[in-house]
Amino acid sequence: MARTAIQLDPNTGPPAPRRRSRVGDRVFKGASATVAVGLLALLALLLGDLAVGGARAFAKFGLGFITGRNWNPVFGREQFGALPFIFGTLVTSAIATVLAVPVSVGLAVLLSEVHSGWLRNPLAVFVDLLAAIPSVVYGLWGLFIMKPVFDHRVEPFLSATVGKVPVVGALFRGNPNGGDLFTAGVILAIMILPTVTAVTREVVATVPRELLEGAQALGATRYETLRMAVLPYSRSGIVGATMLGLGRALGETIAVSLVVGNGLGIGASLFKPGYTIPAVIASEFREATNVGVHRSGLLALAVLLVVIAFVMAALSRLLLRRSVRLMGGSATVAAERAAFQVNG
């Protein structure tokens, strides 16, 4: 049987695939760009509106509005200084971050590594329920239940023990009585714990299985695997989760205003009454009028809060970049580090 040779024209290639319509991609790209530009424009309008509203306070008091310590909204004797509110906002947020982040990371690792449903499932539900509780409920719980316990037991105990330690003890000295910065910080820590835990749990879940198996194959225990492989690999994500929790702590209003004590003192002790920027805005804005500069002062406080949030966001980006650079963006770095530490 004769074979028929089929000759192909070398100048003619395989038939070109039918070009798909890219109308959907273009529409999606255009819609995404529009939304992004719209968000930036909305943010610019928000900042512009706040800046215009607070311009009178900034013009009248100048830098003294930021460095001043007195807050007197009485017309004719007006004096506005935001330093106590800035101090209270930063201190309560710092307390919340210091208390919440270690617990959140521990919970995230526990929920990711423990395979027993009887422990993991109720714990995961409990953490999710904490995120669903309204802030006013946290505030009322802190006011009627937590604050009396702190006043009569927790804070006197800290004052009698840690308060006697040099340097650090200055934070826990004083006469606990009523709301204070420490109680507000603890409330904030409970409120941001679900956010930090949820994000950290997602980050820990992305650790490559090969990295865990490699560390265990080298003889690492479960604790050593977590310490030398899981946590270093998840460092940048944990930093991002921390900054998300810090952002919520900076802007919390009702719960803090109920337990912070509403004082203007600035000092080393955490057992003194304080005030935060969101709390004072929520407490006084309804009664503030355009007569004088009371309302303008509150809007100026809002500008300062936005600036603080932007600074924290910028710092979080720097920390994330540094963490990624230290880790090299690769699981190999973490694996080699775990190997050296285990073998050493």
Give the whole-angstrom CA distance, residue 249 versus residue 192. Answer: 7
d(CA 334, CA 303): 42
- Domain edges within the chain: 42-343
Report if pTM > 0.85.
Answer: no
Q: What is the pLDDT of residues 240-281, one digit of tens each?
A: 899 889 988 998 989 999 999 888 888 889 999 999 999 999
Rounded to whole angstroms, how far apart are CA atoms 115 and 286?
51
pLDDT of res. 25: 84
Residue 56's pLDDT is 92
What local confidence, expressed as pLDDT, does residue 1 receive?
44
Angle in degrees, CA 238, 241, 243, rounded to 5: 110
The domain over range 42-343 is classified in CATH as 1.10.3720.10: yes
Report the distance separating Cα 307 and Cα 86, nearest Å: 11
Residue 269's H or E segment, with its range, is none
Note the pLDDT of residue 313. Answer: 84
In this prediction, residue 173 carries a pLDDT of 87
In this prediction, residue 342 carries a pLDDT of 37
The per-residue pLDDT for range 59-93, each reduced to its tens digit, is 999 899 999 999 988 887 888 999 999 999 999 99
Interior/surface letters 64-89, b for 16+ CB within 10 angstroms, e for the rest: bbeebeebebeeeebebbbbbbbbbb
The C-alpha atoms of residue 208 and residue 327 are separated, in whole angstroms, by 14
Segments of the chain with pLDDT less than 70: 1-21, 323-324, 326-344
- DSSP strand pairing (79-80 vs 71-72): antiparallel
Q: Where is 167: in which H helix or E strand?
A: none
